[in-house]
Amino acid sequence: MIWHNTRCSKSRGAHALLAERGVTPAVVRYLDDPPSREEIARVVGLLGGDPRALLRTGEPEYRALGLAGADDEAVLDALAAHPRLIERPVVLRGDRAVVARPPERALELLDGA
């Protein structure tokens, strides 16, 4: 599965790399169909447990919501309420996930598959 933004070159690149390897992931256009807070928390766990791993700090919402000093629960709430804050692309396979920046990180999930 890939949390995908078609306007993002990194997201398109990760999707293309997977396709080149014969992998056709389920595509979730997370801006159109945002994941629930529970799903975000699950993915954060797969990424190592720090919700900041999914946080886009350059977005205006980051500053407006004062997330620089926010605790993990506030960050999860913000990610759920403002999906533009979710870093992309997120690629999931089984019980593993990566933020595919650079896009080649998506290939890490193919190791041993």
Residue 53 buriedness (CB in 10 A; 0-12 / 13-18 / 19+)? middle
Q: Does domain 2-110 have CATH number 3.40.30.10?
A: yes
Ranges in the chain, pLDDT < 70: 112-113
* Catalytic-residue membership of 91: no
35-54 pLDDT per residue, tens: 999 999 999 999 999 999 99
Please tell me whether residue 32 adopts helix, strand or coil conformation.
coil
Q: Could you tell me the CA-to-CA distances from 6 to 13, 32, 38, 77, 107 in Å, in that order?
A: 10, 11, 24, 24, 19
pTM of the predicted model, to two decimals? 0.93
Q: Which of 1, 3, 5, 8 is catalytic?
A: 8
